[in-house]
Amino acid sequence: MKKIVRKSVVPLYAAAGAWLLYALLFPLYRVSHFITAVIVTAAVGFVARLIFHDKEEEVPEPEPKPETTGNEALDNMLKDGRLAISEMKRLDDAIDDEKISADIVRLEEISAKIFDHVKANPQKLPQIRKFMNYYLPTTLKLLNAYDRMDQQGIEGENISSTKEGVAGIMDKIVKAFEKQFDSLFGDQAMDISTDITVLENMMAREGLTDDPIQKVKAEQKAREYARINFTDD
C-alpha cells in the first residue's frame, strides 16, 4: 500500500466563485479594481483551503509487470514458479503447525533458487520439467489438502489420517527439492572434478607435488639408472 494526497477542489471553486461574484457586483475597469479582485479571490481561496483540507488515502501499489526473457518456455516456467511461491506463502500463513510451516518456508527458498538458477541457465530448463509438471504441483496439492482438513476444526479419522500423511512426507519432499537443486550443478561438478584431476597429474609430472605414485616412479628410475651404470662398469 502507498499513500497519496488528494487535493480538495473546493478552494479552487471558491476562488473562481469569488472572482465571478466580485465581477458582477463591482466595477473592473481600473488596475486597482483588478488588484482588489485578485486579493479578494486569493483570500477566499486561502480560507477555503484552511477549511477543506487535502485528503490522504492509502491505495494498493500496482504490481510490477514481470520481466520477459524472450524465451517462451522459460517465461512460462518463471510465471508458474511465481504462482507456486505465492501459493506457498499463502499456505504458510494459513497453516498453524510450526513444523509444516518451517518446511514450507524451506520449500519456498529452494524453489526460488531453482527458478533463479534456470533463469540464468536456460539450457537447464529440461532438467526441471518433471519437477515443474509433477513434484511441485503435487506438493502444493498435498499442502492444500492439509490446509482444508485443518480448517474443519475437528479431528475425525479421515481428517487426522490425511493430515498425518502429509506431515509425515514433508521431510522427504524437502530433501527431494534439495536434491533437485543440487542436480542442476552436476555438469559443473564434473567439469571441476576433471580440472582437479588434470591439474594434479600435471603437477605430479612436473615434480611439484609429493605424490606417492610419482615417488615410486622416481625411485624406479633411480634404480634403473644405477643398474645401467653398474653394468657398464
Question: Which residues, listed in sequence order, are joined to residue 59 by a DSSP beta bridge?
Answer: 2
Over the Cα atoms of the chain, what is R_g?
Answer: 38
Cα 225 from Cα 222, distance rounded (Å): 5
Note the pLDDT tens digit of each residue in 59-108: 676 666 666 778 899 999 999 999 999 999 999 999 999 999 999 999 99
Whether this prediction's pTM lies above 0.75 is answered by no
Note the pLDDT tens digit of each residue in 143-202: 999 999 988 887 888 899 999 999 999 999 999 999 999 999 988 878 888 888 888 888
Question: Which residues, listed in sequence order, are joined to residue 56 by a DSSP beta bridge?
Answer: 5
Cα 178 from Cα 113, distance rounded (Å): 10
Angle in degrees, CA 63, 54, 11, rounded to 5: 130
Picking from 99, 117, 89, 114, the residue whose alpha carbon sits closest to that of residue 179 is: 114
Distances (CA, A) of 59 to 5, 19, 131: 10, 36, 38
Distances (CA, A) of 73 to 80, 110, 119, 126, 199: 11, 21, 11, 10, 39
